[in-house]
Amino acid sequence: MNDIKKIHLIGIGGAGMSGIAEILINLDYEISGSDLVHTPITKRLESLGAKIFYAHDASNVAEKDLVVISSAISQENLEVSEAEKLKIPVIKRAEMLANLMMLKESVAIAGSHGKTTITCILAHIFSSNELDPTYIIGGKVESFASNAKLGKGKHIFTEADESDGSFLLLRPHKAVIANIDNDHLEAYDNSFEKLKQSFKDFCLRTPFQGRIFANGDSSEVLEVIENLPRNVSLFGFSENNNFQILNFTQDKDGSNFVLFDKENNNKMSFKTNMLGKHNILNAAAAITVAIDEGISYEGIKQALEKFIVIERRFQVISEKVFEKDIILIDDYGHHPEELSVSINTVKEVWPNRKLLVVFQPHRYSRTKALFEDFVRLLSSCENLILLEIYPASEKPIPNYESDDLIREIHKLNPSAKLVRGIEEAYDAMKEIAEDNFIFLTQGAGNTSLLAKKFKN
């Protein structure tokens, strides 16, 4: 990349793209980008020196040496077409990420769920132990100034996105496989088998001397790593794991657990502010990587105790909603499995409270693919407010729209309510404002705006 000085990123405000942009700025590249809206992310990038255009226009790529596109950008985009016309190279975000990963000892975190959380915990542990890692994260951590940092240390941590298959462009030294679920199948010819094969191919892109850290509680993950010619360490709750989670307990103040390193016959006690078995699995993944990289038990333990819950990852927003004894929790999860985990965690930690679920489906394609799962799960919620599907640039799919979803839910849960927009959802929540409630706002669309109304 010595001859490349001016890099333009289309969709620069996205979580993954903005992190790459910040790293490139710190590497002294001249960065520009385009996006449709002003956000705190784009404002930060501008403060660092990026030139951002708030509309897509062919002139934006003039005199650029390289164009980087996010997975949301189509080949018909005006700027992509102009770049190709001017013979400016156009590469995917993951290809740029792969180039950045070559600069350091890389650990890529893959999985259908939990990538952001694991990457955040790793960055926090290594930063707390003065190893100054480079990281690019898809979520915001309140203790970090940004979701990306160019560190002076030898490590780089990043998420490996399977949603469009682009994680196969990466060649990490080590990798984490958190889980594999039936999501983003549209990128794999609607075949779960092809998705699992892509995870196996990803694992094989690590070198022989590297290591795979895999969730041994997941049958799909175990299938992927079976007979894999790589070094593998398993983590999880079941006995087959090399690092087994024991004595897990949780309450409103956080979680406690023991991680049993069987190879060294060492039992290590940990405490964290995070809640939910899924987050303990995420923590265990990060701990196993940290141990493999030589960080001491005491260093990991102290770091984990100080870890601040990630924004929108089972985050307690308020404990006095509408000036009543109501706790509001906000979570990003948008797959039925993620929603189920959140609901179960609420019931385990606050067994005597009533629960209101405010859920926003994400994408018509996901709603269609998992329609029956959504109906079954949402119908079981005694108190449910359903927001309209967040399209994420998709066009509606007949028979799989919000009205179709609520119609099926009503067959088993007539009290469920469909609302049109954030303000209507807010008003509907007011109507259920009783003491001793948990309000759970869940979804990857703009439900964060709803949660912020209470936070502010």
**Active-site amino acid positions:** 115-116, 159
The secondary element (H helix, E strand) that includes residue 266 is strand 266-272
Q: Three-class SS of residue 315?
A: strand
What is the per-residue DSSP string for 190-223?
Answer: T-HHHHHHHHHHHHTTS-TTSEEEEETT-HHHHH
Contact yes or no for 330/441 (Cβ under 8 A): yes
Contact yes or no for 446/312 (Cβ under 8 A): no
Q: What tokens were used for 258?
A: 């023991």
Which among 283, 390, 275, 386 has a CA at the least distance from the CA of 341? 275
Sign for the CA dihedral angle at 214, 217, 219, 222 comes to positive
What distance in Å separates the CA atoms of residue 390 and residue 422, rounded to the nearest whole number? 12
What distance in Å separates the CA atoms of residue 223 and residue 340, rounded to the nearest whole number? 23
C-alpha gyration radius of the chain: 22
Contact yes or no for 369/186 (Cβ under 8 A): yes
Q: Where are the alpha helices (DSSP H) in 145-296?
A: 192-203, 219-225, 277-292
Q: Which amino acid, residue 243? A: F
| CA distances in angstroms from 300 to 169, 305, 415, listed in the order given | 31, 9, 47
| CA distances in angstroms from 245 to 111, 113, 199, 240, 273, listed in the order given | 19, 19, 24, 11, 17
Kind of pairing between the strands at 326-331 and 105-110? unpaired
What distance in Å separates the CA atoms of residue 340 and residue 212, rounded to the nearest whole number? 27
